[in-house]
């Protein structure tokens, strides 16, 4: 009887190891890599985006939104921000899933040597070579037409950027030609946004 139990435990341990190996993440290890033309190739670590599911993305450590609502994975963004506070490199992948057959949208953000490097899966140049920002701002205010405040998580080249600078974007208006700073609105509240202004390369 003891011998049978020992064999059973060994069998269960083997199955567990095999299952763990099969669930290895495609996207957990982010690397800021480029092809010979200088275009970002980091999204290629997901072999088939059309089959990539939100449950897998959460397991892979992504910040996940579904149909413009937060789903999970905030700890990945928090971990990156913790690294920036220590001037250490880090990375976070944001992904937005949709109800229809539209492919998910991804944003990869890296922090290296005091700079944020941002890449988008659904854009052509200049996004292929990335957007670079030097500062992060958390800005709150009440956009026109809303009765409550929103909080924007923003990467920018301007450390003095204010919520008023973002207000035209949030109100669906064009920015003033006097706006010289480049910025990327990463999140509005907990929702992935990914709106960029300026080149910031």
Q: Tokens in use for 140?
A: 């709150």
Label residue 120 exposed, middle or buried (CB < 10 Å: 0-12, 13-18, 19+): buried
φ, ψ for residue 193, nearest 5 deg: -120, -60
Question: Rounded distance, CA 60 to CA 82, Å?
Answer: 19
Q: Cα(42)–Cα(108) distance, rounded to whole angstroms?
A: 8
Distances in Å between the alpha carbon of 155 and those of 13, 81, 115, 135, 136? 46, 12, 10, 6, 4
- The owner of tokens 């937060």 is 70
pLDDT of res. 94 = 97
Nearest Cα to Cα of residue 45 among 63, 58, 61, 33: 33
* pTM for this predicted structure: 0.81
Q: pLDDT (tens digit, 0 to 9) for every residue of the chain, 201 residues total? A: 544 444 444 434 333 333 333 333 444 578 899 999 888 999 999 989 999 999 999 999 999 999 889 999 999 999 999 999 999 999 999 999 998 878 999 999 999 999 999 999 987 665 677 899 999 999 999 988 778 999 999 999 999 999 988 888 787 776 655 556 789 999 999 999 888 887 655
Please count the other Cβ atoms lying within 10 Å of the Cβ belonging to residue 20: 9
How does pLDDT run across 70-91, given as a tens digit for each residue?
999 999 999 999 999 999 999 9
| 112 to 36, 80, 88: CA distances (angstroms) | 21, 11, 7
If one counts every other C-beta atom within 10 angstroms of the C-beta of residue 197, the result is 17
pLDDT tens for each residue of 130-152: 899 999 999 999 988 778 999 99
């Amino acid at each position: 009887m003891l011998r049978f139990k020992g064999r059973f435990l060994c069998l269960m341990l083997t199955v567990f190891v095999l299952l763990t190996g099969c669930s290895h993440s495609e996207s957990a290890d982010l690397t800021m890599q480029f092809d010979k033309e200088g275009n970002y190739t980091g999204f290629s670590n997901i072999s088939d985006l059309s089959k990539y599911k939100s449950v897998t993305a959460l397991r892979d450590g992504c910040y996940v939104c579904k149909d413009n609502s937060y789903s999970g994975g905030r700890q990945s963004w928090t971990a990156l921000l913790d690294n920036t506070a220590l001037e250490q490199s880090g990375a976070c992948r944001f992904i937005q899933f949709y109800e229809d057959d539209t492919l998910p949208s991804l944003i990869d953000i890296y922090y290296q040597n005091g700079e944020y490097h941002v890449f988008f899966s659904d854009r052509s140049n200049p996004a292929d070579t990335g957007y670079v920002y030097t500062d992060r701002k958390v800005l709150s205010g009440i956009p026109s037409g809303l009765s409550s405040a929103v909080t924007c998580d923003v990467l920018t080249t301007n450390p003095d950027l204010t919520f008023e600078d973002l207000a035209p974007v949030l109100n669906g208006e064009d920015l003033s030609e006097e706006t010289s700073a480049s910025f990327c609105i990463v999140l509005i509240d907990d929702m992935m946004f990914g709106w960029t202004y300026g080149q910031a390369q």
